[in-house]
Amino acid sequence: MEKANQTSPLVRFILLGLSAHPRLEKTFFVLILLMYLVTLLGNEVLILVTILDSRLHKPMYFFLRNLSFLDICYTTSSVSLVLDGFLAPQETISFSTCAVQMFLSFAMAGTECVLLSMMAFDRYVAICNPLRYPGVMSKAAYVPMAASSWAIGGVASLVHTSLAIQLALCGDNIINHFTCEILAVLKLACADISINVIGMGVTNVIFLGRPSSVHLCLLCLHHCYHPEDPLG
């Protein structure tokens, strides 16, 4: 196990992954690769179909294309590193690559949450104001909505990643994870990480609570409009 003293900054990390269970690595490599290929194929087909079929050129399917593309980016940014770790006897990753991994994973997760809330709003307008739907959810509205989802996720990730990489990391350079996840990296910090943890907690509550609250409102509205429906 490599050690880093109080004056030498960490420049590389060791990702443990399943190193304690070497017999399972090949099995998990095949399983994860198959799941990744299925995910990739399914999302690519969905994107292709919604682009080629003119009847699907609607806001809902535009958001679905964004969600599928986001899923491809999210899984690729994580799975590629995981698969590489299964093949290498000891997976090491540079500090800069780790920072990029942290940024991408948090940005994709944040973007997905915001995008889901945008999709929930789209369904809200379609259910409660069907006559006004074409005007409210015009192309001039839903394209900026999707773009803002990517921007919000990217900015939030940039803030938290910047705070994380500025910390003095002088503990063991071993990350007990498959990828460079922010909280796993924060455990290596010598400085106080309370601001990082509180900031991430607040961000997660906003990102996770927003789509959930919108969905709950939609269920209430569905019950009001269709009281006889047991699903309401």
Instruction: Report how far residue 121's alpha carbon sits from residue 217's, in angstroms, rounded to the nearest whole number.
Output: 10
Q: Is the pLDDT of residue 198 over 80?
A: yes
Confidence of residue 215 (pLDDT cuts 50, 70, 90): low
For residue 232, what pLDDT is reported?
Answer: 43
Is the separation of the CB atoms in 121 and 213 below 8 Å?
no
Stretch among 68-72, 74-78, 171-175, 214-218 having the lowest mean pLDDT: 214-218
Highest mean pLDDT out of 79-88, 98-107, 145-154? 145-154
Q: Residues 93, 96, 97, 100: what is their CA dihedral angle, to the nearest 10 degrees?
A: 150
Write b or e for each residue in 156-175: b if 16 or more Cβ atoms lie within 10 A of its Cβ, otherwise e.
bbeebbebbbebebbebbbb
Confidence of residue 9 (pLDDT cuts 50, 70, 90): low
| Mean pLDDT of the 108-121 span | 89
| Domains of the chain in sequence order | 12-213 (1.20.1070.10)
- Consecutive H or E run containing 171: none
For residue 25, what pLDDT is reported?
Answer: 72
SS3 state at 13: strand
Stretch among 15-24, 131-140, 198-207 having the lowest mean pLDDT: 15-24
Instruction: Report how far residue 10's alpha carbon sits from residue 171's, in angstroms, rounded to the nearest whole number.
Output: 8
**Residues contacting 226, CB < 8 A, separation 6+:** 232
- Angle formed by the axes of helices 139-165 and 59-87, to 10°? 30
CA dist 70 to 45, 50, 74, 75, 116, Å? Answer: 14, 15, 6, 9, 11
Give per-residue pLDDT as tens, 38-50.
Answer: 999 999 999 999 9
User: Which tokens is 134 given?
Assistant: 């074409």
For residue 62, what pLDDT is reported?
Answer: 95
Mean of per-residue pLDDT scores for the chain: 80
Give per-residue pLDDT as tens, 173-196.
Answer: 777 777 788 887 888 888 788 888
For residue 223, what pLDDT is reported?
Answer: 55
The amino acid at residue 76 is: T
Instruction: Report how far residue 43's alpha carbon sits from residue 68's, in angstroms, rounded to the nearest whole number.
Output: 5
| Mean pLDDT of the 126-141 span | 88
Question: Whose CA is closest to 204, among 63, 106, 118?
Answer: 106
Where are the extended beta strands (E) located within the chain? 12-15, 91-94, 174-175
Give per-residue pLDDT as tens, 90-111.
Answer: 677 788 888 888 899 889 988 9
- % of the chain exceeding 70 in pLDDT: 79
Strand 174-175 and strand 91-94: the pairing is unpaired
User: Which tokens is 34 given?
Assistant: 């198959």
The pTM (predicted TM-score) of the whole model is 0.78
